[in-house]
A and B are shown apart, each in its own frame.
Chain A
Amino acid sequence: MLQIGDKTFASRLLLGTGKYPSFQVQKEAVNVSEAEILTFAVRRMNIFDAKEPNLLEELDLKKYTLLPNTAGAKTAEEAVRIARLAKASELCDMIKVEIIGCDKTLLPDPFETMKASKLLLEEGFTVLTYTSDDVVLARQLEEAGVHAVMPGASPIGSGQGVVNPLNLQFIIEQSNVPVIVDAGIGAASDASYAMELGADGILLNTAVSGAGDPVKMAKAMKLAVESGRLSYEAGRIPKKTYATKSSPDTAMIE
């Protein structure tokens, strides 16, 4: 089970809700993924079109924990403002702190990220912080009290998978709070690999929403996260340079 703050989850896959080809496909992908935590962004409502459909109206909200993000914020102040608005919906008290410091790589601004995380913790939020794979920063975020650290596997939406497994491993080893690998996952093998390294969960969006068949990929990701976790718990064999026979040398036919 995955425990974040005072909540417990059976699924270790957290799913983003952006950029699906249609509401119908999204709904089905969410369903098939068996994710229990869904991320959202906070944006201005088009008040002139009250009939405009919203994904939330399509979902059984009792089944899901909403994880709004602070995407769009470039400073701690902006992130706190978005987080407060998200909480005012009265649907959630979790927040994904996401403060981008570079438009090209979408890597987070470490200083504003730390500042916002601390401010939101003081206000009683359950804070999940998107961070780079910087090992020291991840430790300092944990020391500040965040409920989960969420290092990227590679840049958001890049689909490059885990580009620095060593740093992820260091972060996983040192952490006493859940480590959720967030961003950069491209295929099921990436998710499985990150889980095999010992990650507590995977947060992904584009890998599913942008896949040729998002519903099928949602299923693949569910299985990958589960198999990666099982593989981690089972304990893999050590890597060796040379071969070792798996069949006996004895009782050979002559």
Chain B
Amino acid sequence: MELHVNGETLHFAKDTMTMLDLLEAYDIEEKVAAVEKNKEIIRKTDYSQTNLEDGDRIEIVHFVGGG
């Protein structure tokens, strides 16, 4: 399947995966972060139940220095 993550198109061998699978694939599931799927916020408790579909647009953000 194909996902658009933070503006980049990524290809995955799996046909079904959850948000948690995606975060684990990049070893960032423990990081302080927030996630959107197609502009909808996904709560942390819902990561494992959120199925991703081909073409989904995912944003994974975190806090950086700012004023």
Query: Taking each of A20, A47, A48, A68, which has the highest tally of chain B beta carbons within 10 Å of its own beta carbon?
Result: A47
Distance between Cα atoms of A50 and B7 in the complex (Å): 17
Q: Which of B5, B26, B33, B64 has the largest count of A CB atoms less than 10 A from its CB?
A: B64
A16 touches B26 (CB 8 A): no
A186 vs B28: C-alpha distance when bound (angstroms)? 38
- Contact (Cβ within 8 A) B64 A43: yes
Residues 40-67 of chain B: 1 if any A CB is under 8 Å from the residue's CB, otherwise 0?
A: 0111100000000000000111111111
B27, closest chain A residue (CB): A50
Interface size on A, residues (CB 8 A): 40
Name the one of B5, B39, B41, B65 contacting A19, with C-beta atoms under 8 angstroms.
B65
Contact (Cβ within 8 A) A45 B36: no
30 A-B residue pairs with CB within 8 Å: A16-B65, A17-B66, A18-B65, A18-B67, A19-B65, A39-B67, A41-B66, A42-B34, A42-B63, A43-B61, A43-B64, A44-B60, A45-B33, A47-B5, A50-B27, A56-B62, A66-B63, A69-B67, A81-B36, A84-B41, A85-B41, A85-B59, A85-B61, A86-B34, A88-B42, A89-B32, A89-B63, A91-B32, A203-B67, A205-B67
B interface residues (Cβ-Cβ under 8 A, vs A): 5-7, 26-28, 31-36, 39, 41-44, 59-67
